[in-house]
Amino acid sequence: MKKYLMIGAAAFVLGAGSMAYVSQQAQASAQQPRAQTYRMLELFGDVLDTVERQYVTEIDETKLIESAIDGMLTSLDPHSGYLNPESFDEMRDQTRGEYGGLGIEVTSEDGVVKVISPMDDTPAARAGVKAGDYITAVNGESVLGMTVSDAVKQMRGKPGEAVTLSIAREKSDPFDVEIVREVIKPKSAVARMEGDYGYLRVSAFNERTTEEAEQAFGALRAKNPDMKGLILDLRNNPGGLLDQAVGVSDLFLENGEIVSQRGRDARDVERYNARPGDIAEGLPMVVLINTGSASAAEIVAGALQDRKRAELVGLTSFGKGSVQTVIPLRGGMDGALKLTTARYYTPAGRSIQQTGIEPDLEVASTRDEAQAIANRAFQFSEASLRNALNASEGLKRRGAHEPAEAPPEDFDEAKDFQLVRAQDVLKYGSVAATPKLPKPQARLAEVIGVKDKVAAAPAKPN
């Protein structure tokens, strides 16, 4: 410390004659961007005044300013935004794990509301809503161009009331689906036996998830003391609370890092570590993931993979590796900012952002899904969102390719192929030791396009 002080003192003596000039220059440089900011704020005031006086109908100034704030934040990345007091209360209800609605995790893409994932055993899941669906209208009222918060307000409401969603889906004609609202209180963790292996499904990360997961597994293990392994299913889990992702990871890890988050300043690093104790007592583990596994689910999958506690089966996860901090304004009286403040990194230092977590054994759930991956169709991920935060260190998400495995022709499609392959990995002891199936022969997108064009081309007269 003394060395730094001495260097500073020497620099001051040598450069005393020029310090005043440098200071003046620094002040002038600092004032220039500030003056530009003031000018733009004045412009905003002028625009608001003009709209208030000349718009064709009377305006709601509060709503207009809230929309302007939200627009400013959403221009940064898809996950930043403004929550007005009502939306802030709804968000807190959701993280507590109970609210009135349909059970859909949504985002915004180019002004369109898009489904990240329906939650397990909710009205939306039972009605057949799928990840990647576009919601274009609610009760006949268009939600195109609407903020996610406003669209969610349209879908939430009194339990028992019906809501009609207009949905656009790839390779399907637009259709309407009527869904009855319920009190959404999904149990975020349930367990059962699958043959000789325990199966723990974690569908979201709310305030009760770690406790529910520990209780569900404990009860299952007590009834099945000869359990030979555990499958942790994180497919279509849209994420949730960071502390719950850390908590669930900690259930199966004895020690070491689970995840770190790094902010703008390279020195701004926060690490989360496991405490002693593995509730599965070293049982072999496989984690199931897919493109609907996002955020907190990716933290758990990445931690268990990097720490060699489990192998992963399924498809590359969504790729949401950014941290959103909710900052209440005036104690929440003016709502809150949801602001991206950091990136997540796995214990091995891998960034999740855009790239996602790749499985140790890539398995498509259906032959159609394998074809879609080869065509780069239906690949809804963080990387596909407009103005998504850049991947760290220039990394890229894997592009179109033929997946390693897909159900063979004679496979019973009523069964869960990814789950079957997870059981195989536990049976043979590792992904490396598991006999591999023939690689699916998917048609390349370019070939399909050429054939379709040829078939559709009208015959020309000679």
Report the domain count for the chain: 3
Report whether pLDDT(27) > 90. Answer: no
Retrieve residue 447's tokens: 């070939």
Q: What is the pLDDT of residue 150?
A: 83
Retrieve residue 191's tokens: 């367990």
Q: Do residues 291 and 345 share a domain?
A: yes
Distance CA 289, CA 37 (A): 45
Q: Do residues 226 and 172 share a domain?
A: no
**Least trusted range by pLDDT, from 11-15, 320-324, 349-353, 363-367:** 11-15
Domain boundary among 184, 199, 225: 184
Annotated catalytic, 436?
Answer: no
132: left (phi over 0), alpha (psi -120 to 50) or beta: left
Retrieve residue 357's tokens: 């977590």
State the catalytic residue, choosing from 295, 317, 322, 365: 295
Domain boundary among 184, 217, 249: 184
Which of these, 397, 424, 398, 420, lies nearest to 407 by C-alpha position? 420
Report whether pLDDT(459) > 70. Answer: no
Rounded to 5°, the CA angle 363-210-263 comes to 80
Rounded to 5°, the CA angle 173-174-177 comes to 125
Give pTM, 2 decimals.
0.73
State the catalytic residue, choosing from 114, 130, 320, 338: 320
Q: Report helix angle 148-155 to 85-96, nearest 10.
A: 60
Q: Which of 30-44, 105-119, 177-191, 214-228 is modeled with the greatest confidence?
A: 214-228
Q: Quick check: is 23 in a domain?
A: no
Q: Do residues 193 and 318 share a domain?
A: yes
Q: Do residues 157 and 301 share a domain?
A: no
At 455, the pLDDT band (50, 70, 90 cuts) reads: very low
Report whether pLDDT(3) > 90. Answer: no
Domain boundary among 130, 160, 184: 184
pLDDT digit string (tens) for 103-123? 887 887 777 899 977 888 889
Q: Do residues 177 and 194 share a domain?
A: no
Q: What is the pLDDT of residue 296?
A: 96
What is the longest distance spanned by two Cα atoms in the chain? Answer: 92
Percent of the chain with pLDDT over 90: 59
Report whether pLDDT(450) > 50. Answer: no
Average pLDDT, the chain: 85
Q: What is the pLDDT of residue 442?
A: 60
Q: Do residues 62 and 204 share a domain?
A: no
Average pLDDT of 45-51?
94
Q: How many other CB atoms are there within 10 angstroms of residue 96's CB atom?
A: 12
Name which residue leads in pLDDT, 215 or 442: 215
Retrieve residue 405's tokens: 């495995």
**Least trusted range by pLDDT, from 12-26, 204-218, 413-427:** 12-26
Q: How many other CB atoms are there within 10 angstroms of residue 440's CB atom?
A: 19
Q: What is the pLDDT of residue 7?
A: 28
Which of these, 304, 283, 299, lies nearest to 238 by C-alpha position? 299
Q: Do residues 106 and 202 share a domain?
A: no
Percent of the chain with pLDDT over 70: 86
Q: Quick check: is 63 in a domain?
A: yes
pLDDT digit string (tens) for 331-388? 999 999 999 999 999 999 999 999 999 999 999 999 888 888 888 755 678 888 888 8
Q: Do residues 200 and 253 share a domain?
A: yes
Q: Do residues 252 and 399 share a domain?
A: yes
Q: Do residues 253 and 218 share a domain?
A: yes
Q: Quick check: is 412 in a domain?
A: yes
Q: Do residues 291 and 311 share a domain?
A: yes
Annotated catalytic, 295?
Answer: yes
Q: Quick check: is 400 in a domain?
A: yes
Cross-sheet strand order for the sheet of 361-362? 189-194, 197-202, 230-233, 285-289, 311-314, 361-362
Give the CATH number of the domain where residue 129 resides: 2.30.42.10
Annotated catalytic, 18?
Answer: no
Name which residue leads in pLDDT, 185 or 451: 185
Q: Quick check: is 30 in a domain?
A: no
Q: Quick check: is 163 in a domain?
A: yes
Distance CA 258, CA 248 (A): 10
Domain span including residue 179:
99-184
Report whether pLDDT(458) > 70. Answer: no
Q: What is the pLDDT of residue 278?
A: 98
Q: Quick check: is 232 in a domain?
A: yes
Q: Do residues 209 and 139 share a domain?
A: no
Q: What is the pLDDT of residue 415?
A: 92
Average pLDDT of 66-87?
92
State the catalytic residue, choosing from 70, 77, 133, 306: 306
Q: Which residue has the tokens 């689970």?
A: 258
Report whether pLDDT(449) > 50. Answer: no
Give the CATH number of the domain where residue 346 resides: 3.90.226.10
Q: Quick check: is 266 in a domain?
A: yes
